[in-house]
Each structure stands twice: as C-alpha cells, then as structure tokens.
C-alpha cells in the first residue's frame, strides 16, 4: 500500500521529500545522480489529470520558462516525460516560500518588505517587457533562496500584449483582482493588484480580504468600498501611497506598470543588486575629489548619492567579512558627510549675513511687485527658521517655494539694479536648496 505513495522514478534524479501539490501537479525535492549531487525541485504532472485547458497551460508554462532567464525567476533546467508523467526539473530554492516566511515572522518590517518588493518588481519589469503576465502571483508562488526572491509556478501565465484581454478565472481568489472575480474583461494589470495584496499581507500579516468562507471573500471583493489600511498602521508615506494605488478596484485608475516601476517606494534604481557596489564606488570617488577641491556642497551631495547605493550593496553582500568591511567604510563616509553638512551650514550662515542687506534693498525695490515681495518674505521666513535651528522639511519647502517664484520673477525682469540683486538672490537660493536636499537625503539613509 505504501508503495503507491512513493515518488515516481527518474533515470537521472533521485526524488525524495514531497514539497507540495496542486490540482494536477506534485513537487518533490530531488538530487541529480552524479558526483556533485545537485539539489533540484521536480514538478511532476500526471498525464491522466490533464484536460485540454491544463495541457495548454502546461505547454505555455514550459515555453515561457524555457525562454526566460532572470535572477528573480525560477530557472527551468530541463523537462522530461514518460508514459505516465511530465517532469519539470527546476532550480532548487532552499528558503521555502514567502508565505511561510510571513507566517513565521507574523509581519515583515517595512524595510524587509520593500527589498522583497523591489525583487518582485524587477522580475515583473522583465516579464512586462516580454508581454508575459503571471496571473497567479501570491506568497506561496514566490520562493526564497537565501534573501533572494524568485517568482515560480507559471502554470497560469500567458503572453498578453497591453491591449489583450481575458475573461477566464485564473489564480487564487484571495489574490485575484476584482475585475477577474467579477468575470469582467481583464488585462495584465491584474498582476499589479496581486502585488498590492502581497505587500499588504507582508506588512500586516493578513490579506486585505481575509475571510472565513469563499462567499464572504467574494462579497468583500465585489464591494465598492475603498481599501483601507488597518487602524494604527505605521508605514511611510510612500509605502501607503503605493499600497492604495495598487489596491484600486478600478483597473483604469489603478497605478500603471510604468508608474509602479518608477514609484519612490519601489525605487528600482537603488535596489540591492550586483551593480550597487560599483555605482557607489564611482560616486564616492567623485565625492572625494570635490571634497579635496573644497567644493563642500557638491561633495556632500555626491556622498549622499553614494550612500544611496552603498546601503543596498551591504544588503546584497553575502560574505560576512566583506559585509562588515563595507559597513566600516560606509560609517567613514557617513561621518565625513555629517562634517560637511555642518561646514555647509556654517558657510550658509555667513552667506545669510552677507545677503541680509542686499535682500533688504531688494525688498524695498519690489514693493510694486506683490508676487516678488511675497517670495522674498518666504525666503526671509525660511532663513529665520534655519537661524533658530529648525532645519526640517518645512524649511526646505519654504526655500523651494520662494526659489520657484524668484525664478519666474527673474525671467520677467528687465535689465537694471533690481535684476542684478534678484539674480544674486536666486543663485543663493539654489545653493541653499541643494544643501538642504543633500542633508535630507543623508538623514533618510542613515536613520
């Protein structure tokens, strides 16, 4: 009797423990029968369980996985068949799936969830460029190899151009977009909804439509009520914005793929990857050069830009000794950036004192220009806040608003003494805004 539950036999592989099973497939851990005993995952599909639809899905899955190679997509190494089964030999991921990871930790810190999201987004960008939609994104279909995520199970995946539409149900109800559950025409944007559900679950420990029955789940999905974050949810402004835009019930107003890839919370430019360290080193060399030349504001800006690549480089590094050496280097750059920040602030204070008299003259000459006069008032308010030690986002906003108005006034001003004073004010404002922006970036990266 027990023999009927034994794994099937494959000439080149020894199938061992069962990892999971679905409607028509079972996945086993296996080892290649060679000296290196390479570990793989073998997806075993029983031919008897296949109908016309599932045959088409399987053929599409094999075709897609044969043609795609990406660090965040599970690699199909080979496929075989015999009289009873079809076998997909897949890359082995030792860390289980994202669902197990979330359950074991209950919730993921926003920083961890963000790094996972970046990897999902990186894989989706690759698929989107090839007009491939996954159509079954969920935590159990996202595997972990160390801290690297890999999209898996392309059994429902389809080639879908942006104008292609489908109406058949695909995927798991808890992660299905409303337009799919309601059996309306849908397109590749359903994957974005699923990403929103995955991010929500990672951050809050449950999906937004967690229910006790399918009927209750369907009612919640069909409802017109906007998705809300749990009471007291403590997430960043960018994270909240992305979540609510992904989980928009209306696919026409839901965030688009291009907007998703460029969203500041996703920030693909600074995701941990093989290029992170090289980008960081290039920028830090430029920072050191500007520092040596005495160009403090430019050096500060470049150090901050370098840190935006050094931090993901640390996360990407797997060797403990190299990771620790990187941390020590980064701490040195952070210290120098902090010193430069103080020096630039001191330089600006001296500049403020020198600028005071010329700004007062410009104010007197601008009483007949209400918008210009108001812009100078904003600049004065920003200076006053900074002199009181209030270097916050409100101060930067005041500087930016003032600079915007001053630039407009400068463009319309004719030649003369007022234009000269206005030009000097704009130049000082630009330097100050650049300094504040660099400081804000430094605070975000080192907090």
CATH for 163: 1.10.510.10
Q: Residue 250, exposed/middle/buried by CB under 10 A (0-12, 13-18, 19+)?
A: exposed
Separation of alpha carbons 386 and 368, rounded Å: 28
Query: Could you give the CA distance from residue 126 to residue 118 in angstroms, rounded to a whole number?
Result: 12
Secondary structure element (H or E) that encloses residue 89, with its range: strand 85-91
Considering 267, 289, 319, which residue would you say is the last residue of a domain? Answer: 267
CATH (domain of 50): 3.30.200.20
What's the confidence (pLDDT) of residue 426? 74
DSSP sequence for 161-193: -TT--B-S--S-GGG--HHHHTT--B-TTHHHH
Q: Closest Cα partner for 198 from 139, 119, 268?
A: 139
Q: Quick one: tokens of 148?
A: 């690297």
Largest CA distance in the chain: 100
Strands 39-46 and 85-91 come out as antiparallel
Same domain for 39 and 185, yes or no, is no
Please state, in angstroms and as integers, the Cα–Cα distance from residue 69 to each residue in 66, 139, 272, following that order: 8, 21, 19
* Residue 437 confidence (pLDDT): 55
Verify that 288 and 426 share a domain, yes or no.
Answer: yes
* The total number of structural domains that make up the chain: 3
pLDDT at 155: 86
Q: Are residues 216 and 131 in the same domain?
A: yes
User: DSSP assignment, residue 69?
Assistant: -
Give the Cα-Cα-Cα angle 209, 161, 121 (nearest 5 degrees). 50
41/146 same-domain check? no
What's residue 176's pLDDT? 87
Query: How is residue 90 written in tokens?
Result: 């897949």
Residue 191, pLDDT score: 95
Query: Can you read off the two tokens belonging to residue 350?
Result: 């001296």
Q: Which of 91, 116, 141 is the last residue of a domain?
A: 91
112 and 77, same structural domain?
A: no
The answer to whether 150 is a known ligand-binding residue is: no
Query: Is the domain of 140 the same as that of 180?
Result: yes
Task: Give the pLDDT confidence score for residue 8 in this predicted structure.
Answer: 84
Dihedral angle sign, alpha carbons of residues 288, 290, 294, 298: negative
Expressed as residue numbers, the domain containing 212 is 98-267
Residues 169 and 286 in one domain: no
In whole angstroms, what is the distance from residue 279 CA to residue 276 CA?
5
**Distance between CA atoms of residues 53 and 270, nearest Å:** 41
Point out the residues that are catalytic: 136
- Residues 7, 31 contacting (CB under 8 angstroms): no
> 380, 399 in Cβ contact below 8 A?
no
pLDDT value, residue 1: 39
Say how far apart CA 110 and CA 9 lie, in whole Å: 44
CB 315 within 8 A of CB 115: yes
Indicate the pTM of the whole model: 0.73
Tokens representing residue 38 in the block: 């390479």
Q: Quote the pLDDT of residue 3.
A: 45
CA distance linking residue 215 with residue 289, whole number of Å = 65
The stretches in the chain having pLDDT less than 50 are: 1-3, 446-447
């Amino acid at each position: 009797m027990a023999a009927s539950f034994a794994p099937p036999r494959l000439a080149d592989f020894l199938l061992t423990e069962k990892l999971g099973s679905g409607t028509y497939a079972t996945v086993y851990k296996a080892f290649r029968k060679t000296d290196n005993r390479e570990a793989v995952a073998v997806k075993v599909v029983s031919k008897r369980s296949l109908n016309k639809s599932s045959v088409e899905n399987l053929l599409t899955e094999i075709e897609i996985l044969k043609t795609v190679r990406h660090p965040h997509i599970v690699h199909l190494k080979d496929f075989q068949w015999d009289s009873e089964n079809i076998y997909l030999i897949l890359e082995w991921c030792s860390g289980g799936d994202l669902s197990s990871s979330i359950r074991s930790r209950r919730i993921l810190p926003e920083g961890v969830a963000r790094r996972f999201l970046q990897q999902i987004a990186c894989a989706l960008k690759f698929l989107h460029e090839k007009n491939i939609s996954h159509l079954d994104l969920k935590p159990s279909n996202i595997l972990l190899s160390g801290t690297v995520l890999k999209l898996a199970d392309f059994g429902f995946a389809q080639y879908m151009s942006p104008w292609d539409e489908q109406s058949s149900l695909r995927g798991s109800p808890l992660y299905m977009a409303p337009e799919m559950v309601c059996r309306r025409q849908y397109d590749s944007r359903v994957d974005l909804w699923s990403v929103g559900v995955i991010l929500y679950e990672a951050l809050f420990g449950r999906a937004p439509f967690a229910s006790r029955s399918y009927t209750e789940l369907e009612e919640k999905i069909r409802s017109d009520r906007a998705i809300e974050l749990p009471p007291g949810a403590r997430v960043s402004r960018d994270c909240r914005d992305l979540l609510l835009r992904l989980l928009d019930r209306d696919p026409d107003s839901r965030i688009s793929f291009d907007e998703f890839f460029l969203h500041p919370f996703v920030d693909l430019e600074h995701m941990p990857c093989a290029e992170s360290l090289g980008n960081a080193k290039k920028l830090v060399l430029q920072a050191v050069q500007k520092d040596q030349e005495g160009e403090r504001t430019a050096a500060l800006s470049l150090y901050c830009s370098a840190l935006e690549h050094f931090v993901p480089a640390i996360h990407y590094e797997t060797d403990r000794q190299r990771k620790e050496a990187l941390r020590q280097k980064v701490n040195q750059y952070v210290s120098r950036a902090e010193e430069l920040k103080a020096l630039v602030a001191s330089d600006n204070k001296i500049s403020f004192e020198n600028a005071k008299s010329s700004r007062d003259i410009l104010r007197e000459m601008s009483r007949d220009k209400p918008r210009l006069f108001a812009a100078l008032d904003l600049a004065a308010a920003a200076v006053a806040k900074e002199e009181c030690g209030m270097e916050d986002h409100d101060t930067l906003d005041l500087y930016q608003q003032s600079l915007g108005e001053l630039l407009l006034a400068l463009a319309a001003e004719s030649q003369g003494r007022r234009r000269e004073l206005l030009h000097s004010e704009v130049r000082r404002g630009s330097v100050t805004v650049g300094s504040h922006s660099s400081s804000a970036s430094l605070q975000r990266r080192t907090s």
